[in-house]
Structure formats: C-alpha cells, structure tokens
Amino acid sequence: MAAPMSCCRRALLQRFRGQSYCIRPPVRLSSSISKILNGDVEKTELSVTGWVKSVRDQKEVAFLHMNDGSCNEHLQVVARPEMVENVTYGSYVKVKGQLVDSPKDGQTFELLAEDLKLIGSCDPDVYPFKPRTHHPLVYGREYPHLRPRTNIFGAAMRIRNAATMALHSFFQQEGYLHVHTPVITTNDCEGAGEVFRVEPHRKEIMEDIKKEDEKEGDSSNPHFFSAPAFLTVSGQLHLEVLTGAFSKVYTFGPTFRAENSRDRLHLAEFYMVEAELTDTHSLHDLTEVIEKTVKHTTEALLTNCQSDMKTYFKHVAPSEHHTHLKEMLSNDFKSITYTEAIEILIKHNEELTFKLQWGDDLKKEHEKFLVSHFGSLPLFVTDFPLELKPFYARSNEDGKTAAAVDLLVPDVGELFGGTIREERYDILREKINKLGLEADLMWYLDLRRFGSAPHGGFGMGFERYLQYVLGLQNIRDTIPFPRTVRSCRL
Amino acid sequence: MAAPMSCCRRALLQRFRGQSYCIRPPVRLSSSISKILNGDVEKTELSVTGWVKSVRDQKEVAFLHMNDGSCNEHLQVVARPEMVENVTYGSYVKVKGQLVDSPKDGQTFELLAEDLKLIGSCDPDVYPFKPRTHHPLVYGREYPHLRPRTNIFGAAMRIRNAATMALHSFFQQEGYLHVHTPVITTNDCEGAGEVFRVEPHRKEIMEDIKKEDEKEGDSSNPHFFSAPAFLTVSGQLHLEVLTGAFSKVYTFGPTFRAENSRDRLHLAEFYMVEAELTDTHSLHDLTEVIEKTVKHTTEALLTNCQSDMKTYFKHVAPSEHHTHLKEMLSNDFKSITYTEAIEILIKHNEELTFKLQWGDDLKKEHEKFLVSHFGSLPLFVTDFPLELKPFYARSNEDGKTAAAVDLLVPDVGELFGGTIREERYDILREKINKLGLEADLMWYLDLRRFGSAPHGGFGMGFERYLQYVLGLQNIRDTIPFPRTVRSCRL
C-alpha cells in the first residue's frame, strides 16, 4: 500500500492546473537576524545564514557572532568547538539550531548550533578588514566592494534605505505624486554648473541610424538624439511640467555635475529630492514643506534606526550630535532675509575672511557664520538679489530681490534651495528673450500660456542630508559607489 | 483697550523663541479634489484650485468640472453664470465655496461657488487639446509638456506612482534593503548591448583638472574619471557587492541603451527594478520572488487605482484585459525549461517564420507562441544554454545549461530576466580569464574569495510592466519624457 499523501503535498499539487512542467519545492524556512533578535520568530529550530564577525573558541564551547546585514546587531551562536574548526572572521556560514533565550545581559536570543556549515571561506590574512577593529572611514573607501560588510558602512546603508523610505512616505502622505524626471536631457538652459555630455560609445551606430533615417529623407543629423544631450543637473523644469497637471509632485533621482570638486561636500553623481507645488502664495509655502521634510525624515531615523544611529553618535558624529538633532526637532526653524543676513555679516566683518556687500553671494564661510550666529540650528535665508538667481525665480515687488530660499544647516551649509517660479507669462517671456532662449523654451512658456498656476519648489541634496544627520565629515561615506573627478571605482 | 489676542494667534507667537525674524502666516486650508470626493474633508467652506475640464453655462446656473490631478474624477462646481464669463477649458481657477452632497447620481459631493477666480487663462483656440475628446495617444506624444493634463496620461502617471510605491513596499516588507547602484560606471563588462559614453561637456575643464593633478605628480590622464565612463546598462554587478553584505537588496533606477530601436517596446532610458538575494538553492528561489513581485504590484493597482485602471480597461487595453489580469492573479505561473520550449517550437515549426534548434535564442515570435500555447498567462522559461548567457550565470550540473530564467508575458514578451550567479571562485575565475577580464574584475572575484555566498537575482523592465498591466501598445505612453533614438524632447 502506498503511503498516504501528506496534506501539504496534496495542497501543493493542487496549486498546479492543466499542463505544468515543474513542481516547485516547498518554501524554505530561513530567517533574518533582525527578525530573530526582534523576537518576531518562534523559538524553534531555525536555519540562519550570514557572515562571521567573530569566533571565540573555548575548551568545551565556541561562540560565534553572525551578521546578515539586516541589522546592526550580531546573532550569537553557541557551537561545539569542532564545528568552527575552519571558520574565520569574514566567512559565510549556515547554521541550523535551536533558538533560545540568551542568559547573557543585553542579548535577547542566541542560537544553539546543531549543524554548522562553512559555505564561503575567508582567509583572514588576505581579507583587508580585521575583527574588532574600527577601520578609518578613509581606509574603507579603498575597498568599495567590501566596505558594505563593515559595521559602520552597513549602518549608513540601512539609514540611507530608511531615509529614502521616510521621504517617500512623507511626500505620499502629503499628496505628492512621485514622478521620474529624465536623466538624459537636451535642456541645458538652467546654467546650474558644468554638465556631462552623453553620446553612443560605438561611433558606428550612427551609420546604422543614418541609414534608417534615409528611408524617411533626412539623414544628416550627427547626434543620437538629433540634438546634443546631457546628464540632468536638476529635474526642476520637468517637474514644472508635471506640477502643471498634478498640483503636487516630487522626484528622487540622480543628478550630475562635471565639476573639478575634490572637497568633502561634492560628488559628480548625487541624489536629489525635488518637490514642486501649485497654489503657492509666498515663500512660506515652501519653507513649511522643507521644515516638515527635514523633521519627518529625521524623526523616522531616530525612531526606526536607533541602533544604527547610535553607532554614528558614538563613533563618527561630533559629541552632542544626538542632542543637537533633538533640539533641531523641537524648535521652529528660524528665517532671515538675505538683506538681514548681509547686515549681520557686515557688522561682524572683522571675524570673516571674505568681506561681503549687498549683491554678493554667500560663501560657505558666511553660511557657517550665520548658522552659528543663530544658535547652530537650521536657518532659512530668503529673498536673494534677483541677479544671484536663475531666470525662472519670481521677482519680488521691490524689483530687486527674488522669492528664493536656502536652508542652511550646521557644518554642511546649504541643504535645500528653492524658489517661487515666475508664473506671469509676460514677465517670464521678457526674461527668456533677454537670454536669447525663446526658441529653446517655447514649451516652458506654454506652461504659463495655458492655465498658468502659481507654483514653486525646492531641491534637497540627499547625500548632504545624510552627512548632516549622521555627522559625517565626508560625503563619500554616504553612498555605496561615490563618483568624483578622477574616481569612478567599480 | 486693545482687543484680546486670540488663542490661535498667541499659540502661533509662542512657537517662536529667542531671536526670530519672521512670523509665518497660518496654514491655509486648501484641499485636494481626491480627498474631497473621497469624503475625507468636512462639508464646510472650502477653497479648491485646479484646471477646468468643462464649462456648461446655463441661464441661471453654470456647471464647471475641475481637476487638480490628484485623481481621475472631476469636482463639479455650481456657480452663477457671471462667475464663469471668461473661464474656458484648460484654464486654472480658484474656487471658494460650500461643499455639499450632490443631488446627481454617481457623484458624491459638489461645490457651491461663492467666489471664483480665474488665475491662469487658456485660449481654447490655440490650446492643443479639446474638451470631451479622446485624443489619440500618438497625438499626445507631440505635446510632452501638456499631455500630463489629459485624462488618459494623467491616469498612467498616477498608476506609475502607485506601482512604484507598491514595488517599494513589497521589497521592504520582504526584508530587502533599497540601494542606489551607480548611473555612471567604468564597468563595461557585461556586454549587455550598446552603451552611452559620458564626458564633461566643456573640454576646458580637463585643463583645470590636469593642472590640479600636477601638484600630485601625474596629470596625463585624459578622462574626467581617469577611465572611460559609461551609463549603466544594469546595476547587477554592484548589487552583487551589496548582497554580499545585506543578504537581500534591490534597486529601482534608470538604465540606458544606445540602440537604434524605434519599435514600440524599447526606450534609450528606462527604469529597472533589480533584486539580488543570498542563500539561493535553485531557480525556484528567484521565480518565487518574481511571481510575488508581479502579483503584489498588480493587486495593489487593482485595489488602489480602480478608477484610473478602469480608464485603461475601457479606452486603451484589449477587451477582456481586466479578466486576464484577474486570471493571472489567481493562477500559479507555469514554468518550462528552455529545452522543453525548443521541443514545443520544433513541433510547431510550420506555424513559425523563424525555425529554431537547440542553442538558438528565442525571438519575440517564439516568446509569443509559447505564452499563447500555455494559455496566454505569464510563463517562466528556465535553464538556457550556457552560451546564451553572460559569464556570471551559474553552470548547471549538465555542463550545457545555465541557471537562468526569463518571465514571458502576453503581448510584451520578456518581462523579467534572472540568473543564479556563479559563486564558485575557481569556476568563475576560469570563465573570467577566458574572456581576458581578470584585471577589470578582480574586485568581482574578491566577492567569491572572501565569504562567498550563493546568490542570484533578476531585473524587471518597469515600463514593460506598465505596458503589460495597462494593455498599452507603445512604451512611450508609460513614461513622462520618453527618450529614444532621434527623440529627446524637453
């Protein structure tokens, strides 16, 4: 007599109807260490995989710390010494065992190993990271393919993920539509610095393209896109198109600068969160959203990434950084006009290397001075001289200043920049004419010609935000694969 | 005697401590039409802004349909005829009035206008879209700056937003870490088709860079990044770095092909969702996640975007498309091997234009035939010949095939592609040596040298997915600003 078919097996077979070529194995039970340590997993037999963070081999028992990247904490595995014979720091193992309460203080659970399999070995003499060592951040940058395995960079990446999700959830809750603005663009009108040009790598492809064009007549255009094409420096103009249909939109994508910047604050490829909204009456409509964006995101990180944030407070950020963030959260951001800022800076002329007068742009030095002058908390500076801002910034009634705002934060300086956009057709057309851009920006003027809505928006450098919130000196430690002049590793 | 300060005003002033230069106006009460029609707004005096979708001016009363892009439906405004005198289709208005229950069937609320302000006028004779007209999709593409205001494209963008969020929430729930893989890369090893090259637009910047290099010695390198740089064709190799630390990772970003493709299925810039996971044992570990990804996202759209999806079922998709999606959701995806696929195709040779034999790649024609042969539902094809797959695909035991899978869907063809990656150091090194890539891919081999974890992953073309789920013929109607050979508008 055949053994009766198990209920589970029968259910599995019933899932497949008609002609089917493969029966799938049942789902395996493998648990992430973050779930285990959170108590989200039943205390039973488990299978766990991960990298070994330390091995302590004692006479009768061996202790192993495992990490799978799902959280900052390691899972302690208690094993028989012979199980860990060839297991070294950095190797990848699979452990089957019983999850039990840990007798050790500050540790919730531990795994009593019944079976331990070394899957990927690691020669500790060659592996560039060592156990129980705080490698300097600059050292980690030399190994972009391995530094994600370090505790400190691992924490940064989990915080980066949490910040990304907090930003999405904030804008979605506030009724903003997420949109993808293009990376490649033929618009190079903003004048926001140096740009990268984009061309097909294989020149011969243009011959194929021209051959196909011939059928339709003109085949003379030398550009892949029929016009010179660049990597975007900002999604703003495209966001304005979309806010002209959806009222509130945001984008969160890569932007580029082909600049010779080798300092601690610039990348050639970085992420920007940009938002655009209609029905704006004054800069307050922007500063309100900006302040909420910073606070919502930072609160989410302090709540949801406690252990990872603690790593940064303890090992990386300046002392009192946690206190600073809490103070930032409980205070309204202050706001001064550019004109007031200049008055203050002139009053403190002797403390500054670069002296300023009305009309000059603020340098990093001045931004830092102003932030510190106002209690080392985030500070809005508003209503900059028209000449300092691009053509699309709305002119204020005084005829001298534009409805533009920057948010300055300690150490990092400018974190956000935004403007109310010029929505008045005649005024905008005149500005565009003066720049000789009328032919290129006909479509942009159309947005004001057909159902023009008062609107404005802002952009935040995402890596700058991470630098600020983590208290990180160098922006290259906020992104998995930093791209800067002279460096594009991997 | 001065009037007593209102409680609200006092609270507002109390929010400002210490030195403060600006008192902010109180928050304005402006509501999105989606909230209003959902019943999420109190029936009281309201202020609403948006674009006019139709005006019906009768003797004693005027009816206006307003849309602000927050949903597919319009808000009906009941006004006095003199209020709408210059108000035309396409103009932007602000209406203040009383929200009341609508006496009309199929309409929940309407707004009784007390004040109606025309903010942005629109000349209907020049505006390229007309009221109550279904403009062909190909016509809309001619006006990329205005088509987001059409009902049909508006629905696509709201669905795109919802799909983006559903994908994030799926991967986050499943314990995947979101990471940003680089857009600019010096890795051109994958051979995944034609690439774009990236260079600084202004050649002179290289002089500044070389000058600064001189201080450090060598200034001869002609490339901005010290090596030729390209736009990414896939984040996979970088995802493998990160899965080597976080076990489960995904990315959702732009990818590029410099191809002369002018068909309905290709873009030069498109979005990919790519996921990578460790602890894989067989292709089933991938197909399981792929199937869940499709089903979770599609279910979310059918639940959360009912009205927008209905627009596509009614006006765009093939008939029975809604039924198809529901059938897709309630059936397990079938799976056949490449070898089985070839057997079937050979059996039906006379029905096919391109005859195949084992070892040949499947063309669009064959993909379509297979999908239709298996009931026009999504179909996995697994275990392709080794020669058809890149070097990183894991060799199966038979020595002839690779652990690779494609998911084929009706009409669109290949939607996902994935492989188990070769995690065995010696085998991978041999493959890389044969290709002469050892110097370039030392870092990639390192991932197998130090704690190698069995892993695999897959990528999904996001616009292809939208095409599939919306039943859209042309991929250019799924993205706000399509980029293809010979076209990069705006």
Question: How many Cβ atoms from other residues are within 10 Å of residue B118's Cβ?
Answer: 18
Report the C-alpha gap between B403 and B456 in whole angstroms.
9
pLDDT value at residue A188 = 67
Provide the pLDDT confidence category of residue B62 given band limits of 50, 70 and 90.
very high
pLDDT value at residue A362 = 96
Confidence check: pLDDT of A19 > 50: no
Helices of type H across A101-175? 137-140, 151-173
Report the C-alpha gap between B312 and B155 in whole angstroms.
8
- The answer for residues whose C-beta is within 8 angstroms of residue B257's C-beta and 6 or more apart is B193, B194, B195, B233, B266, B268, B270
Q: Do B92 and A451 touch (CB under 8 A)?
A: yes
pLDDT value at residue A27 = 33
- The partner residue sitting opposite A481, judged by closest CB among B51, B182, B230, is B182
Confidence check: pLDDT of B4 > 70: no
Provide the pLDDT confidence category of residue B10 given band limits of 50, 70 and 90.
very low
Residue of B12, B21, B205, B446 to mutate for A, most A C-beta atoms under 10 A: B21
B205 touches chain A (CB under 8 A): yes
Residues of B in contact with A278 (CB under 8 A): 49, 68
pLDDT value at residue A294 = 98
Task: Provide mean pLDDT across the span B243-272.
Answer: 97
Report strand pairing: B413-420 vs B92-101: unpaired
What does pTM read for this prediction? 0.93
pLDDT tens sequence across B410-435: 999 999 999 999 999 999 999 999 99
Confidence check: pLDDT of B24 > 50: no
- Of residues B21 and B290, more confidence is placed in B290
Task: Provide mean pLDDT across the span A286-306.
Answer: 97
Provide the pLDDT confidence category of residue B1 given band limits of 50, 70 and 90.
very low
B53 touches chain A (CB under 8 A): no
Checking ipTM against 0.85, whether it exceeds it is yes
- The partner residue sitting opposite B21, judged by closest CB among A69, A181, A336, is A336
Could you write out the DSSP letters of every residue in B27-45? PP-B--HHHHHHT-S-SSE
- The partner residue sitting opposite A450, judged by closest CB among B127, B382, B423, is B127
Report the C-alpha gap between B108 and B38 in whole angstroms.
8
Confidence check: pLDDT of A11 > 50: no
pLDDT tens sequence across A260-284: 999 999 999 999 999 999 999 999 9
Chain B: residue whose CA lies nearest to A439:
B490
A209 touches chain B (CB under 8 A): yes
Report all structural domains of chain B as residue ranges with CATH numbers, in order of start: 7-120 (2.40.50.140), 148-195+233-477 (3.30.930.10)
**Among the listed ranges A200-204, A292-296, B71-75, B405-409, which one has the minimum average pLDDT value?**
A200-204
Handedness of CA A442, A446, A452, A458 (dihedral sign): negative
Task: Provide mean pLDDT across the span A425-453.
Answer: 95
pLDDT tens sequence across B307-353: 999 999 999 999 999 999 999 999 999 999 999 999 999 999 999 99
Of all residues in chain B, the percent with pLDDT exceeding 70 is 93
**Beta bridge mates, A337:** A382
Strand-by-strand arrangement of the A229-231 sheet: A184-185, A229-231, A196-200, B196-200, B229-231, B184-185
Q: Do A443 and B145 touch (CB under 8 A)?
A: yes
B427 touches chain A (CB under 8 A): no
> How far does Cα B24 stand from its chain's mean position?
38
Interface of A with B in 123-182 (CB under 8 A): 123, 126-127, 144-146, 148-149, 154, 157-158, 160-161, 164-165, 168, 172, 175, 177-182
Task: Provide mean pLDDT across the span A225-252.
Answer: 96
